[in-house]
Amino acid sequence: MENKKEQLSSIREYVYNLFHDDTTGHDFHHMKRVARIATTLARKERADLFICESAAWLHDIGDKKLFANPELARNEMDVFLAKIGVKRNTIEHIYKAMNDVSFSKGNIPATLEGKVVQDADRLDAMGAIGIARVFAFGGTREQLIYHDEKPENTSIQHFYDKLLKLKSLMNTQAAIEIAQERHVFMENYLDQFFLEWKS
């Protein structure tokens, strides 16, 4: 049995072991930033801090893009959470918060904690860090940066397909404010990108 602080530090270590060598933009530092942003949002929104922080750390475990055997990854996580003494109903609440996070699934999470974690994950896909992640991800998919005649499936196209839409998809007021600033930064980045592209 561990107290909540010890449990969070065990979770952090568990996540470090799984993600430290990822090169697709889903590395340990993505999980760390999502955990930190989720904690900030949770305080402002009066959501459950422990659920938000742990679900944020764990949110990409079992993602089909990242795990060869997603079900095994989820099962191992379940055994781990029980082993460090997280109560069964808390574990279930964490899963609920994790499950609807993905942008690709397009779900609005049912719980406030799910909304917080989804917003935190989406904020990390925006702004300067979000821009870095697009090109990191694009590189691992052997995707072009951009192409005049065929912009489809380029990393720049991904801004229009996803990143510029995220601002309007935030669930919490606290996230809307941060998203606004990051959105403007991405618009300015694209202006400069096309200025240089055409020069």
Contacting residues toward ligand ADP, per CB under 6 A: 25, 63, 65, 102-104, 121, 125, 130, 133-134, 137-138, 143, 155, 158, 162-163
Q: How far apart are CA 194 and CA 8, in angstroms?
A: 44
158 binds, among Ni ion, ligand ADP, none (CB under 5 to 8 A by kind): ligand ADP
Q: Which is nearer to ligand ADP, 86 or 109 (CB)?
A: 109
Task: Provide the phi-psi class of 62: left if phi over 0, else alpha when psi is between -120 and 50, else beta.
Answer: left
Q: Whole-number minimum distance, CB 191 to ligand ADP, in Å? A: 19
| Cα 63–chain centre separation | 11
Q: Whole-number minimum distance, CB 191 to Ni ion, in Å? A: 27
Contact 88, 74 (CB under 8 A): no
Q: Which is nearer to Ni ion, 122 or 183 (CB)?
A: 122
Give how far Cα 70 sits from Cα of 40, 62, 63, 140, Å. Answer: 29, 4, 6, 20
Which pair of structure tokens corresponds to residue 34? 């999502």
Q: Which is nearer to ligand ADP, 80 or 135 (CB)?
A: 135
Kindly list the residues in this chain that would bind Ni ion in the complex (CB under 5 A). Answer: 60, 121
Q: Whole-number minimum distance, CB 45 to Ni ion, in Å? A: 19
Sign of CA dihedral 142, 182, 101, 58: positive
Q: Which is nearer to ligand ADP, 13 or 142 (CB)?
A: 142
